[in-house]
Amino acid sequence: MLVKLPYGTSEIEFDLNSDRVLGLILPSEITPAADPASVVERALATPLGGPTIEELAPRGKTVAIAVDDVTRTTPTHLLLPKLLLALQNAGVRKNQITLFIALGTHRPMTEAEIKEKYGPAIVEEYTFVNHDFHDQSQLTYMEDVAGNVPVWINTEFLKSDLRIVTGNIIPHFNAGWAAGAKILLPGLAGEETVGRMHVHSALTTPNGLGIEENPTRQLIDAFGERVKIHLLLNSVITRHKEIVDVYAGHFKTAHRRGITHAKSVYRVPIQGLADITVSSSYPCDIDYWQGLKGLFSADLATKVGGSIVAVTPCPEGVSAMHPLWLEYLQHGTVELKEMYQSGDIEDYVALGLALNVAHIREKHPVYLVSHGISDKAAEKMGFQKFDSIDDALQALTRRYGTDSTVNVLTHGGETYPQLAS
């Protein structure tokens, strides 16, 4: 059978004997909302567990809105018009509203990306700020949570009278499910906070994909409680990036209700664990900092000792913002934990993600198909690189046998495979 996978803005295909296929795993086909704008409007008018915008009495107050960046599929351009209109109707002037791009430790967005992501009309009328996790002068320390994770948060966001967060709910390997207060941690947090969070996650739940109440989510929620979020606006979308529904209200209550709905799209029952899993990281594929997400969904679909074929274009390479990540990825979990204990670490964020990857790599040899990652970089990452999926599968068939089983993940960056039993 001929199998096609999303690969950046195009597709990549390969041949596979259908008798070997356990499952073609992808998010469910679900009907999108007929009128997305009215869905956003309804959610804002009937918030879950929290006040409406009118009840927040925003007239005369400054408003900060956290929005995610180009690495996320949130339909922000559809969420913002109704949110901004509701604020204006409640008496807020445009010059009192600032939108903070929650980059975490990602690179700043370009002007063209900002216009495409949020809509050119909105970008022209409102102030947008790229969060800078490096600049301590733009951050405020509040306290420590979860033992040793300091709450450093964007000062201007914190100083605003009303703080609103947006996002999109899909499975996530650290937080269980994306969105909620995650847009603040790591989105608008400082470098040390983000680093300690990632190490905490790797040490407590190396793969928390689909686990909604895991230690990382508890840490993120504690951060959100400390910063204080006045209103959440989160979407659930189809795999085609169309709005299914929108949830507004208290940042935990509305987020958890949204997770229940998102499970109907992204939690996919599978018949069994395979010897080999081919996983496209789509739609997370700008660089490998995003592309690694395909590993965690593949982990849940693969036998221990079975292999993963990671398929991801990565036009921006491994990670421009975290060059030390390649160095850390050359180590196993034991060494990385020793490095963390020693305290001799320059980039805790990179160390935490290296530890996550090492946990997967020690269970599953990883074969990489990527046009954006060099052979040398792949070797440092502990991956064996191939020019095509067909070549990788031929090598793995020699390793596991002609009757070895295969699972295929078409949207590995946002799918939560779960054994049907």
Rg of the chain taking only CA atoms, in angstroms:
21
CATH-assigned architecture of domain 2-26+271-419: Alpha-Beta Complex (3.90)
> Does 36-265 carry CATH code 3.30.70.1450?
no
pLDDT tens track for 283-310? 999 999 999 999 999 999 999 999 999 9
Domain boundaries, the chain: 2-26+271-419, 36-265
Per-residue pLDDT band at 387 (split at 50, 70, 90): very high
Give the rounded percent of residues in the chain with a pLDDT score beyond 70: 100
Per-residue pLDDT band at 160 (split at 50, 70, 90): very high
pLDDT tens track for 102-126? 999 999 999 999 999 999 999 999 9
pLDDT tens track for 237-288? 999 999 999 999 999 999 999 999 999 999 999 999 999 999 999 999 999 9
Residue 145 is predicted with a pLDDT of 87
Task: HSE, CB side, 13 Å, CA atoms: give it for residue 313.
Answer: 15
The secondary structure of the chain, three-state, reads CEEEEEECCEEEEEECCHHHEEEEECCCCCCCCCCHHHHHHHHHHCCECCCCCCCCCCCCCCEEEEEECCCCCCCHHHHHHHHHHHHHHCCCCHHHEEEEEECCCCCCCCHHHHHHHHCHHHHHHCEEEECCCCCHHHEEEEEEECCCEEEEEEHHHHHCCEEEEEEECCEECCCEECCHHHHCCCCCECHHHHHHHHHHHHHHCCCCCCCCCCHHHHHHHHHHHHHCCCEEEEEEECCCCCEEEEEEECCCHHHHHHHHHHHHHHEEEECCCEEEEEEECCCCCCCHHHHCHHHHHHHCCEEEEEEEEEECCCCCCCCCCCCCHHHHCCCCHHHHHHHHHHCCCCCHHHHHHHHHHHHHHHHCCEEEECCCCCHHHHHHCCCEECCCHHHHHHHHHHHHCCCCCEEEECCHHHCEEEECC
Tracing tokens 């992501």 back to the chain, one arrives at: 117
Average pLDDT, the chain: 96
Residue 338 is predicted with a pLDDT of 96
CB 229 within 8 Å of CB 184: yes
The secondary structure of 43-90, three-state, reads HHHCCECCCCCCCCCCCCCCEEEEEECCCCCCCHHHHHHHHHHHHHHC
Evaluate if residue 421 carries a pLDDT over 80: no
Residue 107 is predicted with a pLDDT of 93
Per-residue pLDDT band at 215 (split at 50, 70, 90): very high
Per-residue pLDDT band at 156 (split at 50, 70, 90): very high
